[in-house]
């Protein structure tokens, strides 16, 4: 589903601030695979997701999603294939609009239809049904402004919105990092359910190594702009957090100076 070949990103090239954030990273992810992504601060994780979403252009390399070369596609065009949920619960939704209007905008993301069409009664029923799975009573608050919801509620709605319209790839950039542990757990259960149900291909960046092992099928670690290791299958199923730390020091020939960087 995702084929990233030799991806380089150089910020501010030719200046004293030049930063080679991605240094030839290659990754092949089959359809329906859920990949968790870990790495030290500044390793290039968000840059890689931004490259996939089209927010940051590649300096070199080729990107294919669902068999189509999207390397030069603008963000808007990629929306048919990819959707995202961000760390900041405020980032993915518009707080001045109602829950219903936010969901209508999410539905409209991939279609040329107007907002009023997406607010028709048939869609309202779909929004209600979708919200009811959260068990938070939000299906009865369609006309409440998004800004009235808690951070966890907003992240849950953001996830529903990201998966409401047809999409193939879901990009999650530390989407539970701003939540308390119980709410983070709730949002992760929801994530897992939606991903399996809709058979999505997923890249989820997390600073929690526990989360990286508990969810998904495969774990990839970024370090200094490249992929330091990649574990899946039986090997990964036997892994615990210390195994990830050991693999990191074996692969990178350095110790992680501050485990907190990874544990988050």
Q: Using CB under 6 A as the criterion, which residues of the chain lie in contact with ligand ATP when the complex forms?
A: 11, 19, 21, 39, 41-47, 222
Of residues 46 and 98, the one with the C-beta less far from ligand ATP:
46
User: Cβ(48)–Cβ(23) under 8 Å?
Assistant: no
For ligand ATP, the closer CB: 11 or 73? 11
Could you tell me which of 108, 103, 7 has the C-alpha nearest to residue 50?
7
CB of 135 to ligand ATP, least distance (A): 31
- Nearest distance in Å: CB 41, ligand ATP: 4
**3-class secondary-structure state, position 170:** strand
Closer Cβ to ligand ATP, 46 or 153, answer by number: 46
In order of 30, 51, 68, 202, 248, the CA distances from 218 in angstroms are 11, 20, 23, 10, 15
Q: What letter would DSSP give residue 112?
A: -
Closer to ligand ATP by CB, 38 or 103: give it.
Answer: 38
| Cβ proximity to ligand ATP, 56 vs 66, nearer residue | 56
155 and 161 Cβ atoms separated by less than 8 Å: no
Beta carbon of residue 50, minimum distance to ligand ATP (angstroms, whole number): 7
Cβ at position 5, least distance to ligand ATP in Å: 19
Kindly state the smallest distance separating residue 184's Cβ from ligand ATP, in Å: 17
- Overall residue count recorded for the chain in this entry: 264
Would you report the helix, strand and coil content of the chain in percent, each value rounded to 5? 40, 25, 35
């Amino acid at each position: 589903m995702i084929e990233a070949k030799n991806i380089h990103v150089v910020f501010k090239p030719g200046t004293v601030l030049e930063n080679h954030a991605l240094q030839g990273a290659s990754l092949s992810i089959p359809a329906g695979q859920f990949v968790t992504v870990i790495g030290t601060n500044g390793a290039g994780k968000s840059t890689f997701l931004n490259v996939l979403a089209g927010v940051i252009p590649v300096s070199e390399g080729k990107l294919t999603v669902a068999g189509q070369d999207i390397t030069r596609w603008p963000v808007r065009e990629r929306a048919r294939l990819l959707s995202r949920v961000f760390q900041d619960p405020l980032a993915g939704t518009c707080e001045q609009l109602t829950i219903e209007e936010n969901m209508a905008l999410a539905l409209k993301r991939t279609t040329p239809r107007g907002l009023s069409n997406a607010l028709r009664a048939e869609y309202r029923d779909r929004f209600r049904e979708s919200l009811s799975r959260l068990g938070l009573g939000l299906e009865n608050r369609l006309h409440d402004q998004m800004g009235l919801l808690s951070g966890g509620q907003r992240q849950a709605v953001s996830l529903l919105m990201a998966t409401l319209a047809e999409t193939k790839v879901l990009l999650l950039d530390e989407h539970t990092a701003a939540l308390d542990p119980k709410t983070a757990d709730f949002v992760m259960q929801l994530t897992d359910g939606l991903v399996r149900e809709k058979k999505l291909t997923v890249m989820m960046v997390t600073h929690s190594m526990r989360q990286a092992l508990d969810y998904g099928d495969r774990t990839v670690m970024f370090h200094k702009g490249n992929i330091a290791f990649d574990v899946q299958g039986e090997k990964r199923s036997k892994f615990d957090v210390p195994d990830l730390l050991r693999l990191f020091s074996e692969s990178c020939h350095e110790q992680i100076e501050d485990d907190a960087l990874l544990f988050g």
